[in-house]
Amino acid sequence: MDAAISSHLRSFPRAAWTYIRRAPGTYVWLAILLVTTVVAKHLSPDVLHAVLGNRSTNLHHLAEDPVRVLIASAFWLAGGGWITYFIVYNIFHVPAERWLGTLRWLCVVVIAHVGATYISEGALYAAIRHGRAPASAVDTLDIGVSYGLAGVVAILTYRIAAPWRYLYLAGSLAFFAVPLFVHLTFTAIGHFAAVLIGLCCYPLTRARTGTWSPADTVRRLRRAHGDP
């Protein structure tokens, strides 16, 4: 027993490295987010607000320096701990990157991040123009990775076999649609837009083969444990 445990412990680093290198983009992103999260924890609230504000994809910055803030905003977390994002990235980004390949996966992330940012900020601009939001909202704080994540959540719809695909799609749409009716904000609009954009990225999946069936996975697990 001790020899078996020792063998598993010795093989763990190699297995972990094999797991990580199959989704390099996701783990490079997570590594950068870890660094910025640690930095953020060591900044005073005022300094942190200034740092994040300088990287915000708000209307003011999108008008003056869009490329810089669109890139920089994707490497800071708006809320939630890094561990939470580590888990979520492994659930969604890792399988998406392995399935699509790093380049296609990155395209989905960028398209969803950029597209949803402009749609959400466009909605905010319209609200300001019509007096439904204050003029100061042009400098609102808008950073984070959630638009890219929402786009990847959506495109994984095409990875799942029917009929589970339709249940997953319905759940994803409902999850991101509910805030539109409960508490409408420009970020809620952005998240739902990112999901729709992710679904529109279907052409990027055409060269990918194979689907994942939850039922098949359950059957394999049962056979592995000797269940009939």
Q: pLDDT tens digits, the chain, 228 residues: what are they? A: 455 556 555 666 777 888 898 999 999 999 999 999 999 999 999 999 999 999 999 999 999 999 999 999 999 998 769 999 999 999 999 999 999 999 999 999 999 999 999 999 999 999 999 999 999 999 999 999 999 999 999 999 999 998 999 999 999 999 999 999 999 999 999 999 999 999 999 999 988 877 887 777 777 766 766 665
Residue 124 falls inside a structural domain: yes
CATH number, domain containing residue 132: 1.20.1540
Residue 10 falls inside a structural domain: no
Residue 18 falls inside a structural domain: no
Residue 50 falls inside a structural domain: yes
The two tokens of residue 103 are: 């380049």
The pLDDT value given to residue 220: 75
Quickly list DSSP for 69-123.
HHHHGGGS-SSS-HHHHHHHHHHTHHHHHHHH-HHHHHHHHHHHHHHHHHHHHHH
The pLDDT value given to residue 118: 97
Residue 198 falls inside a structural domain: yes
Residue 39 falls inside a structural domain: yes
Give the count of domains, the chain. Answer: 1
| pTM for this prediction | 0.90
Place of tokens 């249940």: 167
The pLDDT value given to residue 1: 44
Residue 4 falls inside a structural domain: no
Phi, psi of 212 (to 5 degrees): -110, 130
Residue 7 falls inside a structural domain: no
The residue segments making up the domain with residue 61 are: 23-224
Report the candidate in 195, 165, 169 with the shortest Cα–Cα distance to residue 180. 195
